[in-house]
Amino acid sequence: MAEWELEVRPRRAVRTAWIVAVIILAVFTVGGVFLRSGSTGVNFRVVDQVAMVAIGALIASGVLLLTRPRVRAGAEGVQVRGVLGETLFGWDQVRGVSFPDRKSWARLELVDDDYVPLLAVRANDKEHAALAVEGLRELGARYTASDKK
């Protein structure tokens, strides 16, 4: 088990995703409850009401996937978790961390001229994001300097 010196998660995006998920679930639940009492002439059954709530729960779960992004860094390297997957990059693969102008999140610059978006380090988190980038850069400087000795 790796020991991480830095762990970063988005703040505002997580809060927003939870609020949106709760609203979606509430709307679908209320819609499902009142589905039978409509005067549209269509005959809805209890199974239709349950399906309506289930659809709301599935959509809300999809929105909550946006709360998964995380970045961890330590002696082993940088572990980047996005919405669906997770990858560990050793310090020998990392060239640096940048936050391009007008971008929503930072990115991990790799030595093969590729980059990986750091969805956990978001511009709308302002100072939290700046501290995260600074922390990643400090760890990168420490561990790449120790590798060269």
- pLDDT tens, 79-107? 999 999 999 999 999 999 999 888 999 99
- Please, what is the Cα angle at 133 between 128 and 112, to 5 degrees? 150
SS3 category, 27 = helix
Give the residue-averaged pLDDT of 18-31.
96
User: Is the domain of 109 the same as that of 134?
Assistant: yes
- Give me the pLDDT at residue 37, please: 65
| Predicted confidence band of residue 45 (pLDDT cuts 50, 70, 90) | confident
User: Is the domain of 30 the same as that of 61?
Assistant: yes
- For residues 76 and 88, the answer to whether their CB atoms sit within 8 Å is yes
- For residues 106 and 140, the answer to whether their CB atoms sit within 8 Å is no
Last residue in a domain, options 44, 66, 88: 66
Rounded CA separation 69/82 (Å):
5
User: Is the domain of 75 the same as that of 129?
Assistant: yes
User: Is the domain of 54 the same as that of 16?
Assistant: yes
User: Is the domain of 78 the same as that of 43?
Assistant: no
Range of the domain at 48: 12-66
Residue 149 has pLDDT above 60, yes or no: no
User: Is the domain of 17 the same as that of 59?
Assistant: yes
